[in-house]
Structure 1
């Protein structure tokens, strides 16, 4: 087509509403990888896979005349799509958005990354959220801008959606006698749930769920969390990384805060404040390294687990 360059520009200017990580091979020749293949793009009226650009450019793929007419009428620039329209399209295509569901989950059934931090204040909660966002984990959905915040009472039970989250940092700093749960978005279709509860007058436990995350998303999320934790290390009293969910996260409260010996199966890594507890037992089968004031115990690779 004479105006193929304009068509390619239009295909590149749409709004992405579903992000797929990784790449797929060219289905015609198999000799080239297409990054992000499977992602979906829209102009508010039409929707197309992001790899369509590749097939038009390389093979001059034929497109519907109505679609071409839309492109030409806009001078080859896809119009901006409002947040409400994006959400409407996503709901149309995928049904209810993931953040519309509860933040439930059985303890110990899925992987987690627990941090034991000095008592959170509004200021330190704000710093936590800023560090998470800088690492790529956002409290607002990247397409709709919505915040998914839930609250449970002391006795647990169903999580209630907090419709008016107010100042998010203040809510995290004051989870009450139960806990608050917040969705952190790594991509428009990938999230982890952050759970915050007060353990005592000095310690707040922040648990990042790793459930339903597949490779490579899980390791990318873990890497983002490690990057964040590095910024908060001075206020960290310890942490537990259990990718497979071998143990319930509350099993580590007494280990981290009281120096007790572990009674649950050993996870990937456990870190304890070595300045508070000189004698640490129960980690004989693990490798010890130093991370600032923390002693980090990791499962040995000879056991078949990640170092």
Structure 2
């Protein structure tokens, strides 16, 4: 089975769904850091431009600021190895949240250029649906 690594996905994003779902994800509140990520903007640009793999028509309120509305927030994006949500990009770009070193190395190794498409197999689709 295809295993996708998550980035910028937090338990609180799934709080209104089945209790206990995605307890393995980090807490948003515990993910703030003082660590400076010099290329945070480039990382966010990579995340924004990777292919969408599951579209959701929703509007969610920013979990940190509480006022900004994020269109299609639950939509999923992937580069074939990692998966994240549209609102993940918002949080990682706008707040001092930590980004896993493994993901940073991955994006830098790709020279900030995501693939234009990802695997379209039943196995990949099944892995994606774990996060909706």
TM-score (ref. length: structure 2): 0.64
* Helix, strand or coil at the partner of 1:86: coil
CA distance in 1: counterparts of 2:74 and 2:116, whole angstroms? 21
CA distance in 1: counterparts of 2:98 and 2:39, whole angstroms? 13
Q: CA deviation at 1:91?
A: 2.3
User: Of the two structures, which has the highest relative contact order with CA contacts closer than 8 Å and spacing of 6 or more?
Assistant: 2
The equivalences for 1:130-141 within 5 A come to none
Q: CA deviation at 1:63?
A: 1.1
Corresponding residue for 2:91? 55
Q: Which has more radius of gyration?
A: 1
The equivalences for 1:138-287 within 5 A come to none
CA distance in 2: counterparts of 1:3 and 1:94, whole angstroms? 30
CA distance in 2: counterparts of 1:32 and 1:55, whole angstroms? 11
CA distance in 2: counterparts of 1:28 and 1:48, whole angstroms? 17
CA distance in 1: counterparts of 2:48 and 2:113, whole angstroms? 9
CA distance in 1: counterparts of 2:40 and 2:117, whole angstroms? 23
Query: Do the aligned residues in 1 keep the contact of 2:46 with 2:113 (CA within 8 Å)?
Result: yes
Query: Do the aligned residues in 1 keep the contact of 2:56 with 2:74 (CA within 8 Å)?
Result: yes
Q: How many residues align?
A: 93
Where has structure 1 moved over 3 Å in runs of 4 or more? Answer: none
* Helix, strand or coil at the partner of 2:120: helix
**Which of the pair is proportionally richer in strand?**
1
1:86 is matched with which residue: 120, 125, 131? 120
Q: CA deviation at 1:61?
A: 1.7
CA distance in 1: counterparts of 2:45 and 2:109, whole angstroms? 14
CA distance in 2: counterparts of 1:94 and 1:54, whole angstroms? 21
The equivalences for 1:104-115 within 5 A come to none
CA distance in 2: counterparts of 1:34 and 1:3, whole angstroms? 23
Q: CA deviation at 1:17?
A: 0.8
Corresponding residue for 1:6? 42
1:18 equivalent to 2:25? Answer: no
Extract unaligned runs of 5+ from structure 2. Answer: 1-36
Query: Do the aligned residues in 1 keep the contact of 2:53 with 2:128 (CA within 8 Å)?
Result: no
* Helix, strand or coil at the partner of 1:51: helix
CA distance in 1: counterparts of 2:89 and 2:69, whole angstroms? 13
